[in-house]
Structure 1
């Protein structure tokens, strides 16, 4: 069972974002710039903030935060930040690593922010910016889902240590239900704000709303964003993220794979047409893959005589370890690999960035579902195979 981040609010963790400083000439917007034209203004007041507390403003630029400005609180915890931005963008307001929030700013934003300096990421309110308010809703949902998933995972681990397999399976189903509820809630939020930079941001990152698993939805939002904000960096990032997923989207014919099995025989994915096929990307060294294998084996045994089979593609590099894992886990279906690890031709053709990952194909070779885990694979087959 995959384990999500327990607090997805900290964007540095969420995106692998790092803090960085730019050249002084470009890192801070001056009062002169703001006076010369429109700009944003942040008026804040923080409870439990000592006079002189530093408030740092950094812009999310690519995969890092770039320092833009700094303010200092007065005796009442008040601070003001003013500046200008070339386009609507996401910014981080930070006191320290544990106390930071995301806001969205453009040159019309007059943002009011209040909160508790000791627990800012959990206790803050923003007004005056629809996008910032949307960010706050998104963050709250991610935090709620993260806490729920963490609780389920802890119970799962306790049952695993006690060897209670039935309870583990029920908790695994609960875990994926929590993930599904999170995604549904975030999609409702995005659907209500389809032309927001926040929507583009959320759909560009698999940790928020996985664009691969929700390609049709993400593509429809991208279409609206291209009309409303064609030059936005967030629109461009979403469009770029979706492009390699297009060829493996649900509804498309799966790209063919021609790789060798452990005996050296070349086996084409297309040779299995006429059956439902689970195209399963895994590796012997992948812990979550090995943990998932018992579920796959159980489903295979249930449906192998009902026009269902599996085509396993390993991202191994060591043939001996690959073969040993196949035998140890009882994986009695077709296996292929070019033993090139992450450079696997098949992995690159399908845009594989993490494993386990799978695609369910219908008898015509069309992708009908993807990333089926636990009981969801059996449930999907039950709907299709009578």
Structure 2
């Protein structure tokens, strides 16, 4: 009886770790499969399963969750620019994923997740807050194009809306408990302003999941980020430019340099870019330079974003996503993120964007 009891407990534990993803693509690519990918603590994506869609355009993935909770991507057809849907699994879930299956000309696509689980619920709420902000930004950009004189008013409204958006996210985080969606939520919090919130998340997850690889990586990154303080010498970055050769950050000594961590796939970064373009135009002839470090994986997408957003400053990338050597050196775990350096390469300020960056530079260059 004891042996039977142990076997039953073991079987129950295994069942609790199982998951099922029921996936449907609205559009198929003939001869192509849909893939399930696992994202490790370094941000590396590894294919773990694949399936050919049925006549009903459906596939199903079943298995046991890695690490007692992990981040997965449903990769539709593994094209050069595939639609990928993030799913956070901790075991015991049956989740329905319905997606367009392909991106439109602008690289956008839609999807839905259905499943009564905390990771799904809060992930969708976070995305809704982000989309609401994106809608406002599109409206403001259109207004500025029609009447540039409205820029000051719009910048004030943007700052207020951004603060309200962050407040909504912070209200949700305590409800997430130790679910991994809390770790994902950190991507929506600017580290320079919300360090206390990030520390709270790190402490909570470290206590509940002390050996989880993603949690351990986040805690370590946060500790190192706290070490990249104002007044410290900026760590070196030496990565490839769009033209090919490497460009070392230290080669820009003698100028005030803004290190701008961004990516073509980062909505908040792209929304911020018009502000950065104007700032650069205003101060580039006064000894100011920008060193853009992209967390892209797709070289073509990186170059296209530079051209489309008219980013005429210095750019580098190793195309390693969150494993970028630059991001690792500065412990960047959310973007956009900036570091302003003085002429000797010391960190003057962190996290300056929009009006805050303009005000800081105006003071810095007022006598120059």
- Superposed pair shares fold, TM > 0.5: yes
CA spacing shift, 1:374–1:155, aligned 2, 3 Å: same
**1:213 Cα deviation from its structure 2 partner:** 2.0
Q: Which of residues 130, 143, 148 is equivalent to 1:155?
A: 143
Question: 1:192 matched to which residue of 2?
Answer: 175
Q: 1:231 aligns with which of 198, 211, 233?
A: 211
3-state SS of 1:374 partner: helix
Q: Is 1:171 equivalent to 2:167 in the alignment?
A: no
Match of 1:283 in 2: 257
In 2, Cα distance between equivalents of 1:131 and 1:373: 32
Q: Structure 1 stretches of 5 or more lacking a match?
A: 1-33, 258-280, 297-311, 318-340, 343-347, 359-366, 379-386
| Aligned partner of 1:102 among 79, 86, 100 | 86
Offset, 1:178? 3.4
Give the distance between the partners of 1:313 and 1:213, measured in 2 at CA: 27
Kept after mapping to 1: 8 A contact 2:93/2:117: yes
Alpha-carbon distance between aligned partners in 1 of 2:331 and 2:23, rounded to the nearest angstrom: 43
Query: Structure 2: which 5+ runs fail to align?
Result: 1-10, 234-254, 261-272, 292-314, 317-326, 342-347, 360-368
Q: How far apart, in 2, do the equivalents of 1:217 and 1:86 lie?
A: 27
Report the secondary structure of 2:75's partner residue: strand
Deviation at residue 41 of structure 1 after TM alignment = 1.6
d(CA) in 2 for partners of 1:376 and 1:290?
12
**Structure 1: how far apart are the matches of 2:226 and 2:30?**
53
TM-score normalised by L of structure 2? 0.56
State which structure, 1 or 2, has the greater radius of gyration over its C-alpha atoms.
Answer: 1
**Aligned partner of residue 283 in structure 1, secondary structure:** strand
- Is 1:84 matched with 2:67? no
Task: Tell me how far apart the structure 2 counterparts of residues 372 and 44 of structure 1 sit (CA, whole Å).
Answer: 39
1:126 is aligned, of 79, 89, 114, to 114
How far, CA to CA, are the matches of 1:155 and 1:188 in structure 2? 31
Secondary structure at the counterpart of residue 241 of structure 1: helix
Normalising by the residue count of structure 1, what TM-score does the alignment of the two structures yield?
A: 0.53
Alpha-carbon shift at residue 201 of structure 1 (Å)? 2.8
Q: Distance in 1 between matches of 2:39 and 2:232?
A: 39
Please tell me whether the aligned partners of residues 212 and 245 of structure 1 are also in contact (alpha carbons under 8 angstroms).
no
Deviations 1:201-220 (A, max 9, x none): 331x4xx3222321011101
Displacement after TM superposition at 1:237 (Å): 2.5
Looking at both structures, which has the greater relative contact order when contacts are Cα pairs under 8 Å and sequence separation is at least 6? 2
- Counterparts in 2 of 1:285 and 1:105: CA distance versus 1, 3 Å: closer
2:132 match: 144
Q: Deviations over 1:252-303 (max 9, x none)?
A: xx6478xxxxxxxxxxxxxxxxxxxxxxx9439999667348999xxxxxxx
Which residue of structure 1 lines up, in the alignment, with residue 46 of structure 2? 66
CA separation of 1:294 and 1:53: change in aligned 2, threshold 3 A: closer
Look up the match of 1:273. Answer: none
Rounded Cα–Cα distance in structure 1 between residues aligned with 2:331 and 2:289: 10
Cα shift at 1:223: 0.7
Provide, for residues 105-133 of structure 1, a one-character-per-residue CA deviation record: whole Å limited to 9, x for no partner: 23322223345546795241320432133
Residues 316/110 of structure 1: CA separation in 2 closer, same or farther (3 Å cut): closer
Contact 1:44 1:79 in 2 (8 A): yes
Matched ranges for 1:226-265 at <5 A: 226-247=206-227, 255=231
Q: Among residues 55, 74, 88, which one is paired with 1:93 in the alignment?
A: 74
Q: Select between 61-70 and 239-248 the one with higher mean Cα deviation.
A: 239-248
Please list the CA deviations of residues 33-55 of structure 1 after superposition, one character each: whole Å capped at 9, or x if unmatched: x9994422222344555897732
- Distance in 2 (alpha carbons) for counterparts of 1:184 and 1:237: 26
For 2:35 and 2:259, the matched residues in 1 are separated by: 42
- Partner residue in 1 for 2:197: 217
- Partner SS state of residue 145, structure 1: helix
**Structure 1 residue 81 displacement after superposition:** 0.7
From 100, 112, 115, the equivalent of 2:96 is 112
Distance 2:102 2:38 in 1: 23
